[in-house]
Amino acid sequence: MRIATYGKRGEERVGVLKDSGTLVDLDRARKGNRAHDTLRSFLSESGWTKIAEDLVDESAGLPEDCLVKTAGKRLGSVAAGASKIVAIGANTWSHMREASSLTRSEPSREPFIIAKFPSSACGPYDDVVKPSWVTSLDYEVELGVVIGKKCIGAAKGQSMEYVGGYTVINDFTARDIQIDPRNQFYNQHTLSKSLDTFCPAGPHLVTKDEIGDPAGLSLRLTVNGELRQKGSISDLIFDIPTLVSFVSKAVTLYPGDVILTGSPAGVAYFMQPQRFLGPRDEVSASIDHIGELRNRIVGG
């Protein structure tokens, strides 16, 4: 099952995909009054998977205004409304190898947590705004794990019970903010990843039953059609159950919160020469069986 939001920014409605081009508007189908204007609010409802499944099954008998054609409609961010977006730094072996000049190829003994402010979330096809003072804009395709129910201190063996599904994330990063060549102790990880529009997420939340074991999923990222990143979820250093358990033992995870699991090699910062993003660049990030983000860089 695939769940999405659609509509103008700040006015999104929640829908579940009936087929490749039609969403069932959940509130209209339930004769509601826009009770669920973010994905988080819907995921907070008890039994949300059953509600969505039943409405799709009943969609043939619903009024026409409940069935929304996605063509020409803006899809909103899967991460919109999240209380927290948690990025896991340096969590693939391939990225560790390319970053060996900074990491000495030694993985952390535990997951390395970086926050992305929820205000960085944007839609899967929205423009990404590069401020004029950012000189080194980079990309990172990642699998996003979306929490489906409140999670506190989950044991690793039970942590997948709290996962609602998966989405595609492009973890845009201003490397000139993140990395201070004079003193790496003062790296600005959170700020560099939290500028407005620096977290496209979508195009849908794909429930975990549709994916099964995500370890075999492949990730790809292109810039203007040129392949820059290609990897697999099996390359993660810390797997998804470990990440959910580790994060939930430190902070409460709420429905709609997102954990970014890690990016494969191929980021612009470690290319020789470095090839950062600029205005009019088109970036595509995709994961098998989940979908694709397409974002244009605008600004200075």
Task: List the domains of the chain with CATH numbers.
Answer: 2-69 (no CATH), 85-299 (3.90.850.10)
pLDDT at 64: 87
* 282 neighbors 223 (Cβ within 8 angstroms): yes
pLDDT at 35: 63
pLDDT at 167: 98
Parallel/antiparallel/unpaired status of strands 163-170 and 128-130: unpaired
**Partners of 142 in the β-ladder:** 169
CA dihedral 139, 140, 144, 150 (to 10 degrees): -80
* 102 neighbors 178 (Cβ within 8 angstroms): no
CA distance linking residue 232 with residue 65, whole number of Å:
40
Tell me which residue of 229, 204, 225 sits closest to 283, measured CA to CA: 225
Tell me which residue of 196, 94, 178 sits closest to 138, measured CA to CA: 178
pLDDT at 156: 97
- Residue 168 backbone dihedrals phi, psi, to 5 degrees: -100, 135
Phi-psi sector, 116: left (phi>0), alpha (psi -120 to 50), beta: beta
Question: Residue-wise pLDDT tens for the chain (300 aa)?
Answer: 999 999 998 889 999 999 888 999 988 888 765 566 688 989 999 999 999 999 889 888 888 889 999 999 999 999 999 999 999 999 999 998 888 776 666 777 899 999 999 999 999 999 999 999 999 999 999 999 999 999 999 999 999 999 999 999 999 999 999 987 776 656 899 999 999 999 999 999 999 999 999 999 999 999 999 999 999 999 999 999 999 999 999 999 999 999 999 999 999 999 999 999 999 999 999 999 999 999 999 997
> How far is residue 90 from each of residues 43, 102, 128, 278, measured CA to CA in Å?
29, 11, 23, 24
pLDDT at 37: 65
